[in-house]
Every structure is written in structure tokens, then in C-alpha cells.
Amino acid sequence: MIHPPVPLGTFPTPLEPAPRLAAALGLGPDDLWVKRDDLTGLGGGGNKIRKLEWAVGAALAEGADTLVTTGAPQSNHARLTAAAGARLGLRVVLVLRGAPGASRSGNLALDGLFGARLAWAGAVDQAGLDAAAAEVCARLRAGGSRPALIPFGGSSILGARGYLRCGAELREQLPDLRTAVVALGSGGTMAGLVAALGSASVLGVDVGALADPAAAVAEFATPLTTEEVAPEGLRIRRDQVGAGYAALTGPVRKALRLAARTEGLALDPTYTGRALAGLHAAVRDGGIRPGEKTVFLHTGGLPGLFGHPDALAFAEEGATVLDG
């Protein structure tokens, strides 16, 4: 049985025109729209809210009193799980890769502010992180708590349901939408959009979080639609990963400045910066063409800028001193 979602965000999110960014990318002024899923409300906002409404809804229905989830130290999903727990009066434990560092800025600072407890898992892969989370859950249960484990990135068939609704909002806001461009991390966001809009209408820009992102998207999307979702039928670009998930690439630097200086839009170095760099590359190679309606999904993530020393230094370099 599917439990109802718990309301956490503010919907529908706005869809805004971006004529100056469109022109800078080589599109017509009416071609590009920004879906403001950075404005979902709770905890600083971002795409994870839509997925958490379903995942936390199920946890509550099952009687959980503690939310447990996993992620990188600067995980937006971990931050928003912490915020959801605070809003609902649930305890939250975040099982994070790595070890505590000197800095707790960005998402980590917000995790602390929202009152989450942290469990550091060391330098482990996803399987190691999942094992550490299972251990944390066992310990909590032994102590009399009722933990609910929310999967990496909040992505599952259930979590992806949150993006069915976003797809429906987009259909209403821009009926002649040709392509929605979105960062692809753990896969649930793209999966929900694919289920709502069809494989041909969604371009995912991989950030390098998964070994096989197409398989994950197809797995989460298939049960949510009558359309056949084949991994090889998905539009996914893997050319923006660079040296890896945490690296700040040249195209991302360019994308961060472009969005900021044409539209006053603040992007993050890991997800939305890569998504815009991928959109730009798609315009250059003809995957996205002038005259077609394109939506850029702003999925949030701004706290990550403040937790990424290279990106922060790059942003600060932009502030030149007025001479004379």
C-alpha cells in the first residue's frame, strides 16, 4: 500500500522566463524557462522536498520516530531531511561519508542548526555507507527508537512520485515544453519527470554520483508510467562529471557566472552548475535547438556553494574593486 505524502513544501513552484540567459546560450529570448524548485520552501528549499514528502509520509504511517539517511558531507538531501524532521518533531540521524573536518560550513552548518545528529562512516563506497546506516538503525532500535531509513538522495520508486507532480505542474505552466534539463544525481528527480513527461522530453546531466545512472532512472520510473522506460532510451549526458562529483570544472565555473550575471540566479557547483553546463553543451551540439521551449530545472543546492572551498574562492574572485 502507498501511504499519502506529508505536505512539506510550497507548490506549485514558479516557472520564470530567462531571456538574457537564453540569449547568452544561443537560444531565442522566449525559448528558456527556469522551474524554481529551489523555492520549495522548507529548510532553504530544493528538489529533495518533493521526494521527502512521500518518503517521510511512509515513515510516519509506519510509526517512525527517527529519520535516518545517508549522503556526502555537503548533501542537500541530508540537510532537508534534517529540516523535515525538525518540522515534524522527529529525530534525525545523518550517516555521512568521510570524517569530521575543520569546516562545518554550507549544508553541514544547517544540519547542525536543524538539530540532526551525525554519524561519520569514513571513506566508504555506497555499499559501505548503506551498511553503516543499517548498523545505526540497529543501534537505534536496540535503544528503543523506531528508525525509518530513507534511501540515498531520497531516491526510490516512492520518492520519484514527488516529481510526477512537478511534471504535471510543468505541463500546465508550459504546454509546448520540448525539453526539461535537470541534474542527475541519485536519479529520483529525473525518473519522476520521465514518468510524467516521457523519456524524450527530459535531458539528465549526470553529476557522477552513481556508476550506472541510466539503470537507476529506468528502475524508479518504470513502475510510475505505462510507457516503456528503457535505459538506452533516456537522454543522459555524462560529459560534465569532470574529475568527479566534488570537482569544480571549467564549464561549471562559466555556468555559475553566466546564470548569476544574466538573471541574478545563484547556482551550486555540484548539481545546478553542471546542469546548466550540460544545457549549454546541448545547445552547441544541437541536442537543444532555438525555437523549442526548454526548461532548466533549478533544483536548489545553494548551501553547497558555501561548503565548497574552490567554488567559494571562484565566486569571491568575481568581486573586483571599482577603481578611480
Binding interface with ligand PLP (CB under 6 A): 46-48, 76-77, 153, 155, 183-190, 268, 271-272, 299-301
Identify the sign of the CA torsion 13, 14, 18, 22.
Answer: positive
The label of the residue with cell 550506472 reads: 212
Residue closer to ligand PLP by CB (options 140, 308) is 308
Residue 140 or 185: the one with the smaller Cβ distance to ligand PLP is 185
Q: How far is the CB of 265 from ligand PLP (least distance, A)?
A: 13
Q: Any catalytic annotation for residue 156?
A: no
Q: In whole angstroms, how close is the CB of 101 to ligand PLP at the nearest point?
A: 20
- Residue whose CB is less far from ligand PLP, 132 or 275: 275
Residue 283 CA, distance from chain mean position: 22
Nearer to ligand PLP, 21 or 194 (CB): 194
CA distances to 30, 47, 59 from 52, in Å: 33, 9, 10
CB of 324 to ligand PLP, least distance (A): 40
Closest contact distance (angstroms) between CB of 143 and ligand PLP is 30
List of residues 6+ apart from 200 with CB closer than 8 A = 235
Task: Show the cell assigned to 47.
Answer: 528538489
Closest chain position to ligand PLP (CB): 301
Contacts of 65 (CB under 8 A, 6+ apart): 90, 91, 145, 146, 147
Q: From the CB of 93, what's the least distance to ligand PLP, in Å?
A: 19
**DSSP tag of 269:** T
Q: Where are the alpha helices (DSSP H) in the chain?
A: 19-25, 48-61, 76-88, 107-113, 126-142, 157-173, 188-197, 213-221, 250-263, 272-285, 303-306, 309-317
Identify whether 100 is preceded by a cis peptide bond (ω within 30 of 0): no
State the DSSP code for 145. Answer: -
Query: Closer CB to ligand PLP, residue 208 or residue 301?
Result: 301
Question: Whole-number minimum distance, CB 238 to ligand PLP, in Å?
Answer: 14
Report the C-alpha gap between 244 and 114 in whole angstroms: 29
CB closer to ligand PLP out of 48 and 97? 48
Q: What are phi and psi of 125, to 5 degrees?
A: -85, -175
Catalytic residue annotation: 75
